[in-house]
Structures are given as C-alpha cells and as structure tokens.
C-alpha cells in the first residue's frame, strides 16, 4: 500500500534532481552552445579538434570528424585543375539516388601534373538543395575523387546561385580532407597506397614474366598482357587503373587503359 | 527463419488453386478467394491467422530475354513472354503456430481488375487493400470502405501502374539540369 | 470489416436541438506526430466517430524505388521511419539478400544487431517521451529521452557519418567498419543506460496521473490485434507473445538470450503499450551487452559485387522494427532495378484499429491512443 | 475627495501596479529558466541589454528575454478570425486581466508609507475581503468562456467549455477550504487573518490547516489553469484551448492576466495559511513584512513551476471527479475536524491534549483522503508482465 501521492512525489524528486543536477553534472546538461565548446564539455564527442583550431575551422567543421554533409571533389597538392582526381566517368551521376549531380565531360584529355593525360569534368555541378548526403557517390567512385565534406553553413538567399555548387566550389585539396576527416583520409590513402603497391608488385611480376617470355619467345608477351587484363577484369570491384591524380606516382610504363571504359563495365545502373 | 507452410493440403482441398513453383505462391481464382482464405485461417493445420502484407503487382506485356545454356554448353538467348495481368499478393503467417509465410495470389486482368476483398477474413487487409485500390486501381469486391487513401480524392489515374504517365504538374520545381528546367524555361510553368 | 460508429442517438430535450461537433484534428494538430488527420465527431468531449485521413506526406516511395537501382533505394529507406533508419536498412537488406546468395560476415552480423538494438532504445525511449508529452507533461520526459538519444545518435554518427539518415547497411554487410574505440564508447553508453531507465521509470511508472490516464483507455483485444495484423510492442501489449526476432531468428538473434515481455491480461490498453516498451528496453540492453561481448574483428562486407543484379525471383524480408513488423517485398525481373518494391509499414497497418480503439473515449484519450500506437508519418504515407 | 485621499489611493495602488507586472516579467523568465533546467536545457541566455548600437551586450543570463517577448508581442499582427465576434474577441483579454488585477488590492500588503491615516484605501481592510476575493476571481471564468465562444473555433469552444466546468467546480473546494480559516479567525478581514497568524502561528502548521492548504493549493492550480489542471489550454489535445485564435498583444494580455491571477491566488494562500507577512525580523523592520509576503508568494509560484515541469495532465472526467468526489468531501470533513480540534483545544489547554488532537486529526484526514482515493481509482493499479522466450 503506497503513500497517497507517492508516485507524484517520486516524480517531483526526479525533476528536482535534474534541476539541481543541471548546474553541477555534465552528464545532465549536455548542451554545447558552440561546436568548439565540445572540447571542454564532453570528452568523447570532441577529441577532434583543439579549441583554437576549432574556432578557426568553425566555418568548415561540424562537431565530429565522422559527420558527413555534401560531396566535394578531391585534388592533390598543386593547382586544383591540374591535380583533380575526377576523370568525368559519370558513374556518380548515374548512381546518385536523387539525381543531383550533373557532369559534362571535357572533349579532350588534359595533361595532369606528373601524370598521364586524362579527361576532366568540364562541368561538375551538385545541387545541394536536392542532395541527401547519402554518400553513394563516394562509394561508387573508382578513383577516390569524390568524398564528403562536412561544411554545413550553406544557407543562402538564392537557390540556383549558391546552392548549386559548381566545380570550382567543389574542388578541395587532400590536405583539407585530412583536416576534416583525419581518420577516414588516412585510411583511404593507406588503401590507395596498398592497392598501388599490389599493382606495382603484380606489374613487376608481369614484367619479369614478360622478360622471361621474351627470352623464350617474342609471341608470349601478348599472352602475359592478356592474362593481366583478365585478372583485372575478374576483380570488378577494384579499379584497375591507378588513380591518375596521384601526384607522387611515377609515370606508368604500362599502356594507359582508358579509365572511362573500365568503370562503365562496372557501373550497375543499366 | 520461421518454418514455411506446406502448400500441398491446399491444392488437395481446392482443386482450382494452382501452385506457381517459380515464385513459390498459391494462385487462387478470384471467385474462390474468400473461401480459400477463410479455410486457411480456420483450418487446424494451417491457422494462418495473420495476414502480414498485401501487395498489388502490375505486369505489362513484356518479353524477357534469358540466357540459357543448351546441351552443347553454349549460351543462347531464350525469349519468354510475360502476359499482362494484375496480381494481389498476400503474405500469410500463423501467430499461433509461429509458421509462415504462405504466399497467396489473386490474379486478375488489367482492363477491369477485380479481386475479392479479404478484409472480412483478415482485418489487416483493410487499409492495404484500400492502398492497392488507390495506387493500382484494383477494385476489391466487398471492401467496406473503398476510397482513395494516399492520393487525394480528385486524383485521376493510378500511379503505381507501370504504364502510368505523370501529368504535367505546375507544382514541380525546376532543378538546374533536367527536363523540368527546360519546361520551365519554355514558359510552360505557370507560377 | 470496419466498425461503424455505433448508432448514436442525439438526446433532444425540451425542444432544444443538439448536434455532433465535427472537428478535423490535424494535419496541423500538435499531437498527430506529423501530418496526420483524424476527422472526429464529438458529443461533448466523447468521440462518437473517427476517420483517419492519410497521405499528406505521400511521395510514392515505392514507385521511386522501382525506377532506380537496388542500392540507390537504400538511402530512401532511411526516410521511411526516420527515427529508425538502421532497422529500415536492415529490413531492406534482408529482403535483397534473399534474392541473391550472399554470405554476411560475422562482424557485420554483430554490428547489425548492435545497431538495430540501439535503434530500438532510441525509438522506445523517445516514444515514451512523446507519449507522456501527449498526456500533457510539457516535454520533460521527452527531453530526458532526447538527452539519452543524443548519446546514441552520436554513436550512429561516428559509425555511419549521419545521425538519423544513417544509410549504413549494404547488401551483404555494412558500408564501412566502425572507427577505433567505437565499441568501447558504445559499451559506456549501454552501461549507463539502465541508470537512466531507473530514473525514467521512477518519474513515470508510478505516477498516479499517468496510471489513471492510461489504464482502461484504448483497449485492444487479442483477437482483433491478431486479425488486424498489429505487430510489435502493440501486439505484445495485447497479450500475444510474438516477436519476429524470436520467430524468424533473422540475423544472428538465435545466439542471444533475451526475453519478450508481453502483457498478462487481455486488456491491451495504453498503459500496457507504454509498459511493454519500457520493459523491452531492458531486454535490448541485455542483447547489446551480449553482442558487445561476442563481437570480433573481421571483414564487414561479404562477397557481394558492386553490381546487384538478382535473377527473376521474389523475396519478402521482415524484421522486428521498433514499431512492429517492417517488411520489404521485392520482385526481381533480372535487371538492376526491382520490378516491384513494396514496404510493409508497421505503423500504417497498426493504424487500422485506431477507429475501434477511439470510439467512446474522450478527445484527450484519442490523442494518447494515437500516441501509444507509435506512428511516424514518413512511414505511414511513404 | 481631498487631495490626501487621492494621494493615498495612488500610494496604495501604484506600488501594486509596479510590483506585480514586474514580478510577472521576472516570473516568465524564471519559469522558462527553471523549466529549462528541469528539462536539462539552458533556457534563454542570450537576450540582454545592448551596450552600443554596433554590438556588445550585457546578457545577464537572458534577463532581457521578457522585454524582448513584450516588444515582439506588441508588434505582432492582431488576427481576428473571419466570423468571430469581434467585440467579445476584443473584450475577453481585458476582462481576464481586470479581475485578477483588482483582487491584488485584497492582499494584505501593508506598505509602510501608508501609515494608517486613511484606512479606507486599504482594500484588505474590507470586512468581506475574502469573500470579495472569490467573487471577483469568479469573473475570470466569464472572460475565458467569452474568448472561447467569440473565437469561432471548435478548439476554442472546447477549451471554453472545459474552463467553465473546471473553474466553477474548483471554486467550491477552494472556498470551503478557506472557510476553515475564516471560521477559526472569526473574520473575513484579511488584516485580521494576517494578525491571527503573527509569530509562527501559521495555520498551515495545524493539521486542518495543512489539509485546507493542500486543498486550497490544488484548487488554486485548477483555478489558474496551471498544470496538471491546464485542460482549457491543453496543447496536445485542443491546440491552445480558448486562446487558440489570439495573437499579439491580446495574447500577451491573457498571459499577463493568467500570471497576475496566479500571484493573486498565491497571495491569498499566503494570507490564509502561510502567515501573510509573518517571518523573522518583522517586529523590528516592518518592511520585511512585504518582503516575506512576496517571498512566500514566489515560493508557491516556484512549486507551481516545478509541478508544471513534472506532471502530465488529467482528463476532463477525472478532473471533475477529483473536484467533486475527492476534494469536496475532504474539505467538508476538514471543516468538521477543524471545528472539533478548535473546540477541544479551547476547552483543554494542555500540551498533551493538543498533541493528541494534532495526531488524531492528521490520521483522520489522511485516512479519509486515502479512502476517497481508493474508491475513486479502484481499478487503477500497477500491473505485472510476463516474459516469453
């Protein structure tokens, strides 16, 4: 038999505890007025930026390095258009669920600094008023050319003025990517490096085989190459081409496989 | 997964009912649907007391190309034709026996699609059949309250049909690159 | 078989005429949980007739999905029940994985369970908050719930990059692995949760006003609940022991020890629905603990290629979403787009009995009955 | 009519018109802050006093918020629905404000500058102050129903109907619990009631006084439409009840009227049960009387805010049942208990007897309350659940 009104009094005790607790207990008052205050308040949410840096970054960062917002195009160190990774293969355009990407491929190939000539996007627009931040473009991109930005302060008075991000707005350097998504960026670069190393090794093996074959017969050279191509085709999830914008990449001796045809085979849309 | 229900007794009990092995479904003639459904619900062995999902499907006349290996090991293309029809699919489970699903279909034509309403057997069909009526235009005989549910009452056509063509809608907002923008620029959009 | 309004006779006395008051509750009403409308006929404060009106948020999700590739619909499933994007993802992935044979790696299965149970915590805790808000509690329990929900949403953000529209599951696994230290942070949140639940129960479960407001309101009998396809906590509140996690054992649920709370009597009122959810959260915490203990390192993506192109077949995948049975019915025709894509939304079908439960109750009860059904209009209208 | 009289009238009323609207402004801020803290939020903390036209401000924990709200309300559009009764729609907020402002005069706030020459201007010296108080507060009901009816909105009408039922019902336990004090003091004069409780002889320390105070406080919550009895403006059910269709300054007037009514009825509770201005140090400093009085009022308001932050709302039938089946019998019983206790105490002045009477009264009242509660909520009890595998 409970005391009359005991349930109400218990509830009032809880609210009183919370009222008082909100002044003393960080567990109870979890509000951060500004993103960079997080560092002072909740250790697990912050950890990402020291306060001073966060204040400088406040226009470009959200609260955590894990958050994603809208896509951006990556380029490596140097002039953006010289080192842009995108080769205008248009997979992302086809796969984008809300159809917010619009790409026009350049008519001719362009020399990239320290790399072979590639197509480049003459137009690359993302209508962020339509984009739903799903990250599918990032997943399907075989060149690691498109990643998610975390900039969120995009409010503007006009829709097609500023909410339609043009190519030059979207181009961001790899350093910036490292700054906003440190973990993800290093993991991605590690993967790219691994893939490259694996390719190099394979190429070396192929070259060795070629040498051997050349010694034996000049005809077998073509076979080795065919074998290599077959190997590359059998693994459709892995892009067989080195990301062309890898600025440190040594010029490949391999005849360039046109990167636009390969991914189109992989493309799943039609 | 829960234990699937054997369909054999249904075929024995109701000779009209067919079994489609490719999709694993009972095909019930529209006229007998209520009878079969009531039997499935009340029969001791089945006790399919829970109708989980009711769906419409619209098939147009379609030709399928399928690559089949022939005896010599070569692939050759076989063309199947899929006749135009409409189907109402019921996914039945038993809460009592914890078995299921048994898939049941009512097949009807596309010109004047009619199916039996099973709302009297399973109450859960009520809103779902209304939805099918709304989106596919299948008329449910004996449905207590057959009105549009998701679209507004004045809406014309049934949007989930495969041959549905969207009318031009002035509410479409232009996006920078697609045909709506073209229409917008042509001045066909009235604001 | 709709229950029509009982033949209601208006009392006429001394030559004074009286008539029913027709009120359109919604779509702008504060407690219809979105844009939902109830056309209510009132006699004084008593609800004499009630007609739910749907479709204000209809965007024909199914048609959209039939015109894009299988993978591209995944982010749209987030938007169905925007509280529980993880379980929506799972239901869709489960259906699609039945179309093709895909092995799902161990770690991915564990993470799926963890994500789904965290989602259940998020949903139930905020639903209880919303429910008490509908009872008129000025948001205090809701804000406590949101305080805890934030912690879980942070975890989601760290794992998937987004707080609500996670888009995390893929056919054959998950999109990416969780970052380092994520499991420890999750364990911390999970360990802290029971303490919060104790406080929450102290605040709500014994409150005399809540008891008298919710008991005997919106009764739903066992028979009607089964026949009307009610699922989830609402079904269990009506006294049916049916949980798809137990029945189907999808994923790796058979490895975990957990119990399914269901109501004892045949009442099935708002109080039962509220309490079943409170009790379910405790069980979810148990599952989470076991899953966090059992998880091991490994790959998170199965052998699925990038091109998802199933043969001509059909599949129906269902999971125990926090709101009930969430099913996806896919008919594949051998192309990269589903020929038929259907969502079986739990909160839509749970609304079937709204009318039956509300008639004869007061206006204030109609509001809390709707609250106890737990609807999200993104899912109801699709 | 002498100049002195006018001066005295002004001296008696102007402070009330300054203190209580100021307190209203502060209370809205305190309420928002306190509710925010109860809900683990920060609450308003930005609006303050701008220091220069170009920036820089003194934000003082958001104390500028009430001013900002007031300005916002002033500039908002005055929307009257088509087909609404414009006259009554206009009159209702004024009518809700006037009675609540009027009854402030009946609170025994004895300002020292009014040194007793013109007692006639002190409304609380009126011999029927308590009864007058209830008579005037009753007018509030009219305003609320007027607003509900004139808005031509179904939710407003429902709110108005609820308000009438609720306010009329709760007036009865409210008056009956005040009757106890009047009975003991033997006067309806607020000044006499205050004098009877000087020192620490507050009536709330008596069992019947405590019971009457609790009943009075619950009745006051219902009378001022505060949670958990805020049915007339139940947001989750009937949008905002009778002021659904009010905007801008009319809404602000309603708001003001509601808060002033809260102060008034808390002031009456303080007068009747909490010793009015009694408190430590009153003998030497008569100023402290006002301070203690307002402090007690603020504490009661604080409890109201606290309750609002905790409790959900009752349902209409439960609300009426609570008034008629719980509070009414209890307050009637309380009158008898008070009468007996007072008689026994009067006849036998020993401490032991008074302790026995004290305990006996408490037991009787608690048992009665418990019994009534069990009868009223017979079917309501916690349940057990089973677990399936």
Q: Is B182 exposed, middle or buried (0-12, 13-18, 19+ CB in 10 A)?
A: exposed
pLDDT digits (tens, 9 = 90+) for B154-167: 888 888 888 887 77
Confirm whether C36 is domain-assigned: no
Interface of A with C in 26-85 (CB under 8 A): 27-28, 30, 44-45, 64, 66-68
The pairing of strands B99-108 and B85-94 is antiparallel
Could you give the number of structural domains in chain C? 1
pLDDT digits (tens, 9 = 90+) for B80-99: 777 888 888 998 888 888 88
Q: Residue B177 and residue A130: Cβ atoms within 8 Å?
A: no
Residues B171 and B162: their CA atoms lie apart, in Å, by 23
Q: How far is CA D175 from CA D151, D261, D296, in A?
A: 31, 16, 21
Residue B181 has pLDDT above 70, yes or no: no
Contact (Cβ atoms closer than 8 angstroms) between residue B150 and residue C381: yes
Residues D223 and D262: their CA atoms lie apart, in Å, by 9
Q: Best residue in C227, C337, C347, C357 to probe B by mutation, most B CBs within 10 Å?
A: C227
| Of A111, A113, A177, A104, the residue nearest A145 (C-alpha) | A177
Residues B52 and C62: their CA atoms lie apart, in Å, by 18
Closest Cα in chain B to C52: B149
- Give yes or no for C325 touching B (CB within 8 A): yes
> Closest approach of chain D CAs to the CA of C281, in angstroms?
13
Closest Cα in chain B to A129: B175
Confirm whether C237 is domain-assigned: yes
Residue in the block written with tokens 């045809």: A261
Confirm whether C312 is domain-assigned: yes
Query: What is the per-residue pLDDT for C171?
Result: 86
Q: What is the mean pLDDT of residues B126-151?
A: 88
> Closest approach of chain A CAs to the CA of B177, in angstroms?
7
| Of D226, D137, D145, the residue nearest D174 (C-alpha) | D137
- Give yes or no for A135 touching C (CB within 8 A): yes
Q: How far is CA C142 from CA A30, C130, C133, D245, in A?
A: 15, 6, 7, 27
> Closest approach of chain A CAs to the CA of B162, in angstroms?
18
- Give yes or no for A2 touching D (CB within 8 A): no
Inter-chain Cβ pairs, chain A and chain D, closer than 8 A: 41
Please provide residue B158's backbone torsions phi and psi, each rounded to the nearest 5 degrees.
Answer: -130, 105
Q: Residue A18 and residue D40: Cβ atoms within 8 Å?
A: yes
Residue in the block written with tokens 């990269």: C336
Lookup: tokens for D142: 């009219």
Q: Residue A99 and residue B178: Cβ atoms within 8 Å?
A: yes
Confirm whether C5 is domain-assigned: no
Q: Is D73 exposed, middle or buried (0-12, 13-18, 19+ CB in 10 A)?
A: middle
Please list the residue range(s) of chain A that carry CATH number 3.30.70.3270. Answer: 71-185
Lookup: tokens for B56: 């419409």
Residues A183 and A194: their CA atoms lie apart, in Å, by 16
The per-type count for chain B, helices as H runs and strands as E runs, is 4, 9
Residue B52 has pLDDT above 60, yes or no: yes
> Closest approach of chain B CAs to the CA of C370, in angstroms?
16
Interface of A with D in 17-36 (CB under 8 A): 18-19, 21-23, 28-31, 33
Residues D237 and D231: their CA atoms lie apart, in Å, by 9
Please provide residue C330's backbone torsions phi and psi, each rounded to the nearest 5 degrees.
Answer: -120, 135
For residues B105, B111, B112, B114, the Cα torsion angle rounded to the nearest 10 degrees is: 0
Query: What is the per-residue pLDDT for B189?
Result: 43
Read off the pLDDT band of D119 (50, 70, 90). low
Q: Residue D385 and residue C275: Cβ atoms within 8 Å?
A: yes
The CATH number that domain A71-185 falls under is 3.30.70.3270
> Closest approach of chain C CAs to the CA of B171, in angstroms?
13
Share of chain D above pLDDT 90, in %: 2
Query: What is the per-residue pLDDT for D79?
Result: 85
- Give yes or no for A65 touching D (CB within 8 A): no
**In which order are the strands placed within the sheet that holds C37-43?**
C21-25, C37-43, C46-53
Enumerate the β-bridge partners of residue C52: C38
Confirm whether C33 is domain-assigned: no
Residues C150 and C352: their CA atoms lie apart, in Å, by 32
Chain A contact set for D314 (CB, 8 A): none
Chains near B with 3+ CB pairs less than 8 A apart are A, C
Question: Where is D149: in which H helix or E strand?
Answer: helix D139-150
Q: How far is CA D225 from CA A191, C139, D138, D170, in A?
A: 65, 18, 13, 11
Q: What is the 3-state secondary structure (H, E, C) of B120-183?
A: CCCCCHHHHHHHHHHHHCCEEECCCCCCCCCCCCCCCCCCCCCCCCCCCCCCCCCCCCCHHHHH
Query: What is the per-residue pLDDT for A45?
Result: 34
Q: Can you spell out the DSSP letters for B34-48?
A: HHHHHHHHH-TTT--
Residues C177 and A87: their CA atoms lie apart, in Å, by 28
Q: Higher model confidence: residue D280 or residue C242?
A: C242
Residue B176 has pLDDT above 80, yes or no: no
- Give yes or no for C228 touching B (CB within 8 A): yes
Blockwise average pLDDT, block size 10, chain A, 270 residues: 79 88 80 56 38 46 69 80 80 84 80 70 82 86 83 69 78 79 82 85 84 71 61 48 39 38 39
Domain-wise residue ranges, chain D: 15-75, 86-376
Buried b (16+ CB within 10 A) or exposed e, D75-96: eeeeebeeebbeebbebbbebb
Candidate from B55, B91, B151 with C-beta closest to C55: B151
- Percentages helix, strand, coil for chain A (3-state, rounded to 5) are 45, 10, 45
Read off the pLDDT band of D100 (50, 70, 90). confident
Query: What is the per-residue pLDDT for B171?
Result: 57
Candidate from C137, C207, C264 with C-beta closest to D386: C264
Residue B19 has pLDDT above 50, yes or no: yes
Half-sphere exposure of C211 (CA within 13 A, CB side): 19
> Closest approach of chain D CAs to the CA of C339, in angstroms?
38
Q: Higher model confidence: residue D154 or residue D351?
A: D154
Confirm whether C212 is domain-assigned: yes
Q: What CATH number is attached to the domain comprising C175?
A: 1.10.645.10
- Give yes or no for C50 touching B (CB within 8 A): no
Q: How many CB atoms lie within 10 A of CB B44?
A: 7
pLDDT digits (tens, 9 = 90+) for D31-74: 888 888 888 888 888 777 777 777 666 777 788 888 888 888 88
- Do you find a cis peptide bond into A7, omega within 30 degrees of 0? no
Q: How many CB atoms lie within 10 A of CB A13?
A: 14
Query: What is the per-residue pLDDT for D299?
Result: 92
Chain B contact set for A125 (CB, 8 A): 176-177
Blockwise average pLDDT, block size 10, chain C, 382 residues: 50 72 83 84 85 87 87 88 89 88 86 91 90 86 88 87 86 85 88 90 86 87 88 88 86 88 83 89 90 87 76 86 90 86 90 87 87 87 84
In this structure, which topology does domain B8-57+86-151 adopt according to CATH?
Beta Polymerase; domain 2 (3.30.460)
> Closest approach of chain C CAs to the CA of A255, in angstroms?
26
Candidate from C162, C165, C208 with C-beta closest to A7: C208
């Amino acid at each position: 038999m409970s005391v009359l009104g005991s349930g109400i009094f218990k509830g009032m005790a809880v609210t009183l505890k919370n009222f008082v607790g909100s002044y003393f207990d960080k567990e109870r008052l979890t509000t951060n007025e500004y993103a960079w205050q997080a560092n002072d308040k909740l250790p697990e949410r912050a950890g990402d930026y020291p306060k001073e840096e966060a204040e400088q970054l406040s226009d470009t960062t959200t609260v955590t390095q894990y958050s994603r917002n809208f896509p951006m195009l990556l380029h490596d160190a140097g002039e953006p258009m010289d080192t842009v990774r995108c080769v205008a293969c248009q997979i992302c355009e086809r796969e984008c669920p809300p159809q917010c990407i619009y790409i026009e491929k350049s008519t001719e190939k362009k020399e990239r600094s320290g790399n072979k000539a590639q197509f480049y996007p003459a137009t690359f627009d993302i209508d962020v008023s339509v984009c739903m931040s799903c990250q599918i473009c990032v997943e399907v991109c075989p060149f690691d050319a498109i990643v998610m930005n975390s900039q969120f302060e995009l409010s503007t008075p006009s829709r097609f003025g500023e909410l339609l991000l043009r190519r030059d707005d979207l181009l961001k350097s790899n350093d910036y990517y490292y700054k906003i998504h440190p973990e993800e960026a290093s993991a991605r670069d590690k993967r790219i490096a691994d893939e490259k190393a694996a390719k190099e090794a394979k190429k070396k093996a192929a070259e060795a085989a070629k040498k051997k074959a050349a010694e034996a017969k000049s005809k077998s050279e073509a076979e080795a190459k065919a074998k290599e191509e077959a190997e590359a085709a059998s693994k459709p999830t892995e892009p067989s081409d080195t990301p062309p914008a890898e600025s440190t990449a040594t010029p490949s001796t391999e005849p360039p496989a046109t990167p636009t045809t390969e991914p189109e085979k992989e493309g799943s849309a039609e | 997964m829960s234990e699937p229900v054997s369909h054999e007794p249904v075929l024995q009990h109701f000779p009209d009912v067919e079994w489609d092995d490719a999709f694993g479904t009972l095909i019930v003639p529209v006229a007998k649907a209520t009878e079969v459904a009531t039997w499935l619900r009340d029969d001791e062995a089945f006790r399919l007391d829970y109708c989980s999902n009711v769906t419409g499907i619209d098939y147009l006349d379609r030709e399928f190309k399928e690559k089949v290996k022939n005896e010599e090991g070569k692939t050759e293309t076989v063309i199947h034709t899929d006749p135009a029809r409409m189907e109402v699919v019921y996914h039945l489970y038993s809460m009592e026996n914890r078995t299921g699903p048994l898939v049941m279909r009512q097949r009807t034509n596309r010109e004047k699609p009619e199916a039996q309403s099973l709302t009297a057997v399973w109450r859960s069909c009520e809103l779902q059949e209304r939805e099918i009526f709304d989106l596919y235009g299948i008329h449910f005989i004996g449905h207590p309250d057959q009105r549009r549910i998701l679209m507004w009452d004045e809406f014309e056509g049934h949007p989930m049909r495969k041959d549905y063509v969207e009318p031009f809608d002035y509410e479409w907002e232009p996006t920078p690159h697609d045909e709506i923008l073209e229409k917008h620029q042509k001045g066909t959009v009235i604001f | 078989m709709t229950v029509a309004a009982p033949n209601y006779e208006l009392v006429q006395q001394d030559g004074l005429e009286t008539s029913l008051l027709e009120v359109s509750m919604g779509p702008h009403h504060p407690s219809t949980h979105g844009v939902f409308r109830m056309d209510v006929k009132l006699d004084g404060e008593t609800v004499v007739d009630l007609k739910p009106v749907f479709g204000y948020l209809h965007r024909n999700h199914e048609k959209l999905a039939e015109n894009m590739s299988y993978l591209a619909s995944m982010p749209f499933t987030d938007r169905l029940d925007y509280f529980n994007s993880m379980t929506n993802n799972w239901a869709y992935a489960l259906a699609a994985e039945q179309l093709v044979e895909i092995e799902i790696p161990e770690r991915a299965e564990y993470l799926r369970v963890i994500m789904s149970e965290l989602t259940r915590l998020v949903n139930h805790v905020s639903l209880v908050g919303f429910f008490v808000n509908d009872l008129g509690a000025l948001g205090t329990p809701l804000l406590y719930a949101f305080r805890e929900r934030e912690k879980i949403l942070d975890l989601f953000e760290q794992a998937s990059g987004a707080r609500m529209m996670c888009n995390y599951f893929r056919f054959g696994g998950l999109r990416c692995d969780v970052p380092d230290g994520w499991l420890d942070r999750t364990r911390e949140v999970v360990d802290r949760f029971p303490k919060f639940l104790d406080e929450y129960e102290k605040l709500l479960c014994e409150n005399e006003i809540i008891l008298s407001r919710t008991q005997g309101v919106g009764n739903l009998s066992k028979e009607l609940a089964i026949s009307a396809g009610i699922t989830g906590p609402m079904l269990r509140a009506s006294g049916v022991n049916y949980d798809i996690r137990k029945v189907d054992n999808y994923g790796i649920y058979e490895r975990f020890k957990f119990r399914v709370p269901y109501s004892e009597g045949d009442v099935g009122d708002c109080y039962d629905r509220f309490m079943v959810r409170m009790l379910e959260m405790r069980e979810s915490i148990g599952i989470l603990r076991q899953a966090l203990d059992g998880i091991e390192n490994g790959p998170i993506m199965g052998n699925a290629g990038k091109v998802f192109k199933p043969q001509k077949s059909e599949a129906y995948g269902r999971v125990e979403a926090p709101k009930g049975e969430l099913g996806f019915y896919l008919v594949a025709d051998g192309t990269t787009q589903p020929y038929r894509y259907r969502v079986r939304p739990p909160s839509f079908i749970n609304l079937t009995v709204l009318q039956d439960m509300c008639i004869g109750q007061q206006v204030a009860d109609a509001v809390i009955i709707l609250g106890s059904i737990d609807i999200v209009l993104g899912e109801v209208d699709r | 009519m002498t100049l002195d009289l006018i001066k005295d009238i002004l001296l008696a009323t102007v402070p009330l018109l300054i203190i209580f609207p100021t307190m209203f402004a502060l209370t809205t801020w305190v309420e928002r802050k306190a509710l925010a803290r109860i809900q683990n939020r920060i609450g308003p903390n930005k609006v303050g006093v701008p220091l220069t036209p170009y920036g820089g401000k003194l934000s003082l924990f958001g104390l500028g918020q009430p001013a900002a709200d007031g300005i916002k309300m002033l500039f908002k559009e005055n929307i009257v629905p088509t087909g609404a009764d414009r006259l009554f729609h206009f009159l209702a907020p004024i009518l809700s404000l006037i009675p609540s402002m009027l009854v402030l005069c009946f609170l025994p706030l004895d300002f020292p500058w009014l040194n007793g020459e013109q007692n006639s201007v002190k409304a609380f010296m009126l011999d029927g102050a308590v009864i007058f108080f209830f008579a005037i507060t009753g007018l509030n009901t009219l305003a609320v129903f007027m607003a509900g009816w004139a808005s031509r909105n179904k939710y407003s009408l429902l709110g108005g109907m609820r308000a009438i039922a609720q306010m009329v019902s709760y007036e009865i336990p409210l008056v009956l619990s005040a009757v106890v004090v009047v009975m003991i003091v033997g006067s309806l004069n607020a000044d006499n009631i205050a004098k009877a409780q000087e020192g620490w002889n507050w009536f709330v320390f008596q069992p019947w006084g405590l019971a009457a105070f609790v009943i009075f406080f619950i009745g006051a919550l219902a009378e001022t439409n505060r949670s958990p009895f805020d049915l007339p403006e139940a947001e989750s059910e009937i949008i905002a009840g009778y002021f659904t269709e009010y905007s801008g300054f009319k809404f602000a007037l309603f708001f003001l009227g509601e808060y002033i009514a809260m102060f008034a009825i808390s002031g009456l509770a303080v007068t009747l049960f909490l010793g009015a201005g009694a408190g430590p140090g009153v003998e030497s400093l008569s100023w402290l009387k006002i301070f203690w009085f307002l402090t007690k009022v603020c504490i009661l308001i604080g409890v109201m805010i606290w309750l609002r932050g905790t409790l959900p709302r009752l349902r209409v039938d439960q609300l009426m049942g609570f008034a008629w089946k719980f509070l009414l019998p209890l307050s009637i019983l309380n009158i008898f208990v008070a009468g007996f206790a007072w008689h026994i105490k009067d006849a036998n002045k020993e401490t032991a007897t008074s302790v026995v009477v004290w305990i006996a009264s408490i037991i009787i009242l608690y048992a009665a309350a418990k019994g009534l509660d069990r009868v009223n909520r017979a079917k309501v009890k916690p349940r057990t659940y089973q677990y399936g595998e």
